[in-house]
Amino acid sequence: MKKTPFTDIHIKMGAKMHPFAGFNMPLEYSGINDEHRTVRESAGVFDVSHMGEFRVQGPNAAEYIQYLTTNDITRLSDGMIQYTCFPNGKGGIVDDLLVYRFEENSYMLVVNAANIDKDWNWCAQHAERYGIDVGKDLYNISGQIAQVAVQGPLALKVIKKLINEPFENFKFNTFKSIELAGLKDAVFSVTGYTGSGGCEIYVPNKDGPALWEAVFEAGRDYGIKPAGLGARDTLRLEMGYCLYGNDIDETTSPIEAGLGWITRFVDHNNFIDKEFLLRQKNDGFEKKLVGFVLKEKGIPRRDYEIADNAGNLIGRVTSGTMSPMMNKGIGMGYVQTGFSGQGTEINIMIRKKRLKAEIVKFPIYKP
């Protein structure tokens, strides 16, 4: 099993470890609910070094990425980040990802840990079409990068102590190569997967332990705590953020998944599956990803069936949990589009019982 630069630190800190995407990762430290609330109320730190990073450069880099992804990277300038996805040529999604623009012809793609090999093969498969030299213009740096996510309303106050630059220069979905905590090769990124604000920091593996120590020292007065994959999942689910392999995959389209906002149908954006997805947008589709809240006591789980009030099956749950902030069962799932309206009453099938739930607008949790 693979280790991150922080694995030994997690074990020494008493984390409950669990295999994830081939890595030995912390599932929880003080408990999922405690870590969840810490991120919502102050600041928590996640090891996300298992994520994948590809660098793309060269005169055709932008055109290449534009073809591979649904969003419009001409909207990016240096230091900006864009959420997008790889359409698979069959109406589904290879992966969702972030695109970082360093310069006009220099980018970084940040992909999901479980999909690194698949995504690399997909990118390499299309490289020749745009004169991208695999291994030179397109290269995989996933194994070289340590990454931490410092998340929560106090997260940037913590990091402000480690950076000698005005913080008003940093806006959401922007980044900068910067000296941070004395580490000269850091990339500071105002991004995250929790909905509570914060940042993500990339450094070479060798600098990982020093970064971890500096962040916790800076956050001591703010009650900063380490957080594991369990809280990462409950936090993103409260926000309605998709998890690849659950809520989106090779059989779901970005239109069905409510990701039309990252699918840009403009003349200069000729991406894979553009015509199919445009027809789907214009002509309609049979299923839609929705969020819901249980009205009765229970916890929805992945693959539980969803029924209408007459007992007819209309969909299935893709993600579910007990919300630590709402103390209610919440989830996401695909339902027939006729039942996807906000306020629609649905039923979650749990142990052969129908528990009533209501479809709600994202985010599911609204502070």
The mean per-residue pLDDT over the stretch 171-190 comes to 96
Q: For residue 247, report the phi and psi dihedrals to the nearest 5 degrees.
A: -90, -25
Q: What is the pTM of this model?
A: 0.97
What is the Cα–Cα distance from 300 to 302, expressed in whole angstroms?
7
pLDDT of residue 79: 97
What is the Cα–Cα distance from 120 to 109, expressed in whole angstroms?
10
User: For the chain, what are the domain ranges?
Assistant: 1-283, 286-362
Decide: helix, strand or coil at residue 269.
coil
Kindly state the percentage of the chain with pLDDT values over 90: 97
Per CATH, domain 286-362 is 3.30.530.20: no
Topology alike, domains 1-283 and 286-362 = no
Residue 37 clears pLDDT 90, i.e. is over it? yes
Sequence-distant (≥ 6) Cβ neighbours of residue 332 within 8 angstroms: 237, 240, 242, 246, 247, 289, 290, 291, 292, 317, 318, 319, 320
Confidence of residue 259 (pLDDT cuts 50, 70, 90): very high
pLDDT of residue 170: 86
pLDDT of residue 169: 74
The mean per-residue pLDDT over the stretch 215-234 comes to 98
- Show the CA angle centred on residue 46, arms to residues 45 and 52, nearest 5°: 145
Kindly state the percentage of the chain with pLDDT values over 70: 100
What is the Cα–Cα distance from 133 to 124, expressed in whole angstroms?
9
What is the Cα–Cα distance from 350 to 320, expressed in whole angstroms?
12
Neighbours of 45 (CB within 10 A): 28
Confidence of residue 166 (pLDDT cuts 50, 70, 90): confident
What is the Cα–Cα distance from 201 to 195, expressed in whole angstroms?
17
Per CATH, domain 1-283 is 3.30.1360.120: yes
Burial class from Cβ neighbours inside 10 Å (0-12, 13-18, 19+) for residue 366 reads exposed
Residue 360 clears pLDDT 80, i.e. is over it? yes
The mean per-residue pLDDT over the stretch 298-312 comes to 97
**What is the spatial order of strands in the sheet that 106-111 belongs to?**
81-87, 93-103, 106-111, 52-57, 138-140
pLDDT of residue 167: 74
What is the Cα–Cα distance from 152 to 39, expressed in whole angstroms?
5
Sequence-distant (≥ 6) Cβ neighbours of residue 74 within 8 angstroms: 62, 66, 268, 269
What is the Cα–Cα distance from 238 to 32, expressed in whole angstroms?
14
Record the tokens describing residue 237, joined without a space: 């689910």
Q: Residue holding tokens 């470890």?
A: 17
CB 94 within 8 A of CB 119: yes
The mean per-residue pLDDT over the stretch 178-183 comes to 96
Give the chain's end-to-end CA distance (angstroms, integer). 39
Q: Give the closest residue to 213 by CA, choosing from 186, 181, 189, 188.
A: 181
Record the tokens describing residue 101, joined without a space: 């623009």
Decide: helix, strand or coil at residue 8.
helix
pLDDT of residue 152: 98
Which DSSP helix (H) or strand (E) runs through 97?
strand 93-103
Residue 298 clears pLDDT 90, i.e. is over it? yes
What is the Cα–Cα distance from 92 to 73, expressed in whole angstroms?
20
What is the Cα–Cα distance from 24 to 49, expressed in whole angstroms?
11
Residue 168 clears pLDDT 80, i.e. is over it? no
β-strands 44-47, 225-227 pairing: parallel
Q: Which amino acid is at 194?
A: T
Q: Which amino acid is at 69?
A: T
pLDDT digits (tens, 9 = 90+) for 271-296: 999 999 999 999 999 999 999 999 99
